[in-house]
Amino acid sequence: MAHHFICPNCGSRSTATDRSAGLRDTPRGCAKCGFGFLFELLDDYYPAPDAAFFACDQEGRVIACGRGAFELTGLDDEQVIGRPVRDVLGLAFQNGDDPVATVLEWGVRALDRPVEVRAEGDLPAQATADLFPAYDADGGLLLVLTPVR
């Protein structure tokens, strides 16, 4: 069975028959850009070319910013990493929903969620959020924000 993966750094998609690198429980890394870990997808996923990637730990703190993050938010990695993703990006989901908490708690995907992004010092931007849980022992999530045009 092939597993689908996506890199939070460059957005590259790949498939593999094994979820880890080698015989150890080491996470699979990106063959294209060398990033240290990939997110597994339950099926193939095609992000938009201008999508922004944010990898978060099990507490919802940003641990990596990928392709498109600066273009969407105007924030450098140093301004974002280690901070709660909801706060630093000013995420406001429709109806007061919190898919970040849902994905972290239940380990389920949340796709096509309309969201307003109010990154620090930036004008509000409308986006669509796709959230994927990390399927490893550490937990966490991948947040992909696609600007609405």
Look up the domain containing 64 and give its range.
3-147
How do residues 14-65 score in pLDDT, each as one tens digit?
888 776 655 566 777 899 999 988 888 877 788 888 999 999 999 999 999 9
β-bridge mates for residue 31, sequence order:
none
Total domains present in the chain: 1
Lowest mean pLDDT among 2-6, 47-51, 129-133: 2-6
**Pair of tokens at residue 64:** 């990596």
Supply the CATH number for residue 134's domain: 3.30.450.20
Spatial separation of the C-alpha atoms in residues 97 and 93, rounded to whole Å: 6
Q: Residue 137 is which amino acid?
A: A
How do residues 55-105 score in pLDDT, each as one tens digit?
999 999 999 999 889 988 888 899 999 999 999 999 999 888 999 999 999
Model-level pTM? 0.83
DSSP 84: B
β-bridge mates for residue 53, sequence order:
144
Q: What is the three-class DSSP state of 6?
A: strand
